[in-house]
Amino acid sequence: MTLPDTNRQIIFARRPNGVPTPDCFALVTTPIPSVGPAQALIRNDFLSVDPYIRMRMEEKDSYAPVMAIGETLVGRTVGQVVDSRIDGFAAGDWVVGRLGWQDYSAAKAADLQKIDLAAAPATAYLGALGSTGITAWVGLMTFGRPQAGETVLVSAASGAVGSVVGQLARLQGCRAVGIAGGASKCALVKDEFGFDDCIDYKSPTFVEDLARAVPEGVDVYFDNVGGPILDAVLPRLNNFARIPLCGLVSQYNATEPYGVKHLREVFNRRVTLRGFVLSDHKDLWPAATAALANAYGAGRLKYRETITDGLENAPQAFIDMLGGSNIGKQLVRLRAA
């Protein structure tokens, strides 16, 4: 494989105040990384842009260190090994790693995971069969603890994590109800991902529609968004309900914190609300990976992708994703096929 002379990278140029703008990012060119001992050079083909990156653009650390101005944007990629000095990795192998917003990356073995393109397309390992699907499995199975016959409610149900959560809930014998933005997304959640129902949070009758959709209450609420939607759900929870808190995407761009009005319901109904971060639960990854692969292989796990072409367009894809424009996993194809 003939390599180009330079490596394109997107670097972090400015901290946002509210919604990120294009000038928070900069496209630069640098030399192709050199390959040192026990390293491999990876040509990244697809990049995953995810909501958690927004938290790493803040001035203060959250659960992960903030990015420094001038740093290459963090992000998971899938691509091919083009040169290897690592035993067990050879040119042509397909790998996934947290290798950043760039065309080429030098990586150690610990940074890489081989993937099998005979089992699923490469992009699936950035989504339903990768960390996204593992997040859904760990949050639902470990902290949601769904039981057959229970009602599982999922926010951002047309998104990468939420769509997997609902399907996993159905596999557990639960009734899965989604929350999504707009009639077309709600139709997709029901017709393609197999949820029993879906409520449009943009509807002026959202609160009434939610009550109608969960007449027997909610046993597990898998929350990806927080804010007013969480507030609307709290009064609908059953006693001893569980809330795996996966994200707060409605709050990432907020300049003022949202004040939850129905927090008393957590006490009244003896609710367990648990925030979780995937990196804290690496011991569960093998079980999650196996379960997801089995479900996909049996045709019982579906996924969608929104793909933007060109590394130079990754910042806008990220901004649009935070605004909810994507369906399923938001990816960037770094170069033409």
Is the pLDDT score of 69 beyond 60?
A: yes
Is the pLDDT score of 167 beyond 90?
A: yes
Is the pLDDT score of 23 beyond 60?
A: yes
Query: Would you state the pLDDT for residue 288?
Result: 98
Domains and CATH numbers, the chain: 6-127+304-333 (3.90.180.10), 131-280 (3.40.50.720)
Is the pLDDT score of 166 beyond 70?
A: yes
pLDDT tens column, 118-160? 999 999 999 999 999 999 999 999 999 999 999 999 999 999 9
Share of the chain above pLDDT 90, in %: 91
pLDDT tens column, 207-247? 999 999 999 999 999 999 999 999 999 999 999 999 999 99
Query: Would you state the pLDDT for residue 113?
Result: 96
Query: Would you state the pLDDT for residue 255?
Result: 82
Q: What's the mean pLDDT when you consider all of the chain?
A: 95
pLDDT tens column, 243-289? 999 999 888 888 888 999 999 999 999 999 999 999 999 999 999 99
Query: Would you state the pLDDT for residue 254?
Result: 82
**Residue 276 Cα distances to 140, 142, 232, 300, angstroms:** 11, 10, 22, 26
Choose between 300 and 2: higher pLDDT: 300
Is the pLDDT score of 337 beyond 80?
A: no
Q: Are 101 and 94 in contact (CB under 8 A)?
A: no
Query: Would you state the pLDDT for residue 296?
Result: 98
Q: Specify the pTM.
A: 0.94
Confidence label for 1 from pLDDT (cuts 50, 70 and 90): low
Query: Would you state the pLDDT for residue 59?
Result: 87
